[in-house]
Amino acid sequence: MTRSCGLGLLLVLVLPVVSASRPGAVVRLNKAVLSYVSEIGRAPLQQALRVTVPYFLDRNGEVIQPSRIQILSVSVPHLRLKLIAGLGVHLAAEANFTFQVFRAPEPLELMLPVVLLADARVAQGSIGTPVVSISACLSLFGDAILFDGSNSTAPALLVPVQKHIKAVLRDKVCLSISNLVQDLNVHLGTLVGLNPVGPESQIRYSMINAPNITNDYISLDINAVLFLLGKPIVLPGDATPFRLPEHVGRDGAMATVGLSLDLFDSAFLLLQKAGSLNLDITGQLKSDDNPLNTSMLGQHIPEVARQFPEPMPVVLKVRLSATPTATLHADTATLRLQPFVEVLAVASNSAFQSLFSLDLAVNLTLKFSVSKVKLQGNTTVLGDIQHTVAASNVGFIDTNQMHMLMGSLFEKPLLDHLNALLGIGVALPNILNLHYASPEVFVYEGYVVISSRLFFQR
């Protein structure tokens, strides 16, 4: 399995998923990744090429003498990958095989140079993963070179030994490359599954259609489905296919990942349905940084002071009354929340007593970042918090006084809660041990783009 990871890195930045067309993402593996894949793919290719060579039958007069042949080492000094439009990836490698022929009176050592050429087709599998297959493979052999110190019979033996080795390698080399690709497909198959978002929620990715392959990139249309308690989150309205424009993000990036607004809407709808955006803001009687008590409220609302002559703790129960709305404009991402806030006080018998309730509207800025394989968020309040009194059990409430009060009591706990939640992050399309390196996040009209290098951790 480890062998396949190096050569497979170009093709495996994707998780499997369902077959709808929304919400959408696009993963683009640019040709800039080829050099990195070539570098880390050399070792697994060298290992795969260490095949078994059967005995060489040396006819010496009337006697047939079997000689064991062992591959001592395989070095691949040059490995080059190139994208082929409409097909996949072309591999060209130069390999040097070092053999030892165990023959009396002393072993024979020789080096055989081989040029390997192969085309790998990239298609869509039945379970929504990329499937790679070798469509063409060719091995071109150079002349074997004897190492110094070989005995006098070596030149005469070299021709039949070389012929024997070439006949064996001609089939086995291409079979080894094909097996390496099959290991990769097994590795891709293990990606089928759910990635946790929260305690009861998951996200799942899959290819929607066959990859679009050009001379510059492999582009994969990805569907992301979010689940809550095993049920998919479905956005209202008709599905709108997401198309990632050309030339977005950072020039020279190995990977370009486009995330549609639908994906963000689904994520926030899931958070609302899961109740993750709800919170209770509680106060203590002797708390300077969170003065939520009836004594403080009584300074602004006389009826509260009358009903609670002794200070009692106050609780703000924050519940969302509408689905959060994300907006993506050029270089700007915002989030609008409409919480319903019920203000309750703890009475002398420890029961909660509703004082009043508010309808709020909060606009927030959204900043995105990527850590390894997760997209994370951070928010700040944008402008003033809008509020109206929904109901009151304590008479008239001065909205101007309440504006200042809610700003100091509500804003910080809300931001702390949101940023802790968004800081957990949501898994991006990825495979095991593959991380986004030095990622940059760009916000465009209606979608977000992540431009990144890739780092494979063995």
Question: For 132-187, how does the pLDDT look when each residue is reduced to its tens digit (9 = 90+)?
Answer: 999 999 999 998 888 765 554 556 678 888 899 999 999 899 999 999 988 877 77
Q: In Å, how far are 106, 144, 211, 249 from 156, measured between CA atoms? A: 15, 13, 53, 62
pLDDT at 17 over 50: no
Q: Taking 70 as the threshold, does the pLDDT of residue 122 lie above it?
A: yes
Residues 155 and 161: their CA atoms lie apart, in Å, by 10
- Check residue 225 and give its pLDDT: 92
Note whether 217 and 451 are within 8 A (CB).
no
What is the CATH class of 31-189?
Answer: alpha beta
C-beta atoms surrounding 394 within 10 Å? 21
Give me the pLDDT at residue 8, please: 47
pLDDT, tens only, 245-289: 999 999 999 999 999 999 999 999 999 999 999 999 987 655 555
How far apart, in Å, are the Cα atoms of 76 and each of 41, 168, 172, 455? 10, 19, 16, 21
Reported as a single tens digit per residue, the pLDDT across 321-344 is 889 999 999 999 999 999 999 999
In the block, residue with structure tokens 């198959």: 189
C-alpha–C-alpha distance, residues 116 and 314, integer Å: 75
One-letter amino acid for residue 134 of the chain: I
Over residues 359-370, mean pLDDT: 96
65-74: average pLDDT: 87
pLDDT at 207: 87
pLDDT in tens, 386-433: 889 999 999 998 888 777 777 778 888 999 999 999 999 999 988 778
Q: pTM of the full predicted structure?
A: 0.87
CA distance 169 to 261: 52
Q: Please give the C-alpha separations between residue 290 and each of 251, 293, 453, in angstroms, as whole numbers.
A: 48, 9, 44
Per-position DSSP letters for 386-397, written without gaps between them: EEEEEEESSS--
pLDDT, residue 430, reads 84
Can you spell out the DSSP letters for 39-72?
HHHHHHHHHHT----PPEEEEETTEEEEEEEEEE
The four Cα atoms 435, 438, 443, 448 give a dihedral, to 10 degrees, of -10
- For the segment 110-122, the average pLDDT, to the nearest whole number, is 95
Helix segments in 358-449, DSSP class H: 399-424
Confidence of residue 320 (pLDDT cuts 50, 70, 90): very high
In angstroms, rounded to a whole number, what is the distance separating the alpha carbons of residues 343 and 317?
6
Report CA 332 to chain centroid distance, whole Å: 23
**Residue 418: phi, psi to the nearest 5?**
-60, -45
- pLDDT higher than 80, residue 217: yes
Residues 178 and 134: beta-carbon distance below 8 Å: yes
Residue 6 has pLDDT above 80, yes or no: no
- The CATH classification number of 244-456 equals 3.15.20.10
Domain ranges, ordered by start, for the chain: 31-189, 244-456
pLDDT value of position 46: 95
DSSP 314-331: EEEEEEESS--EEEEETT
Whole-number pLDDT of residue 316: 93
Out of 11-15, 207-211, 318-322, which region has the weakest mean confidence (pLDDT)?
Answer: 11-15
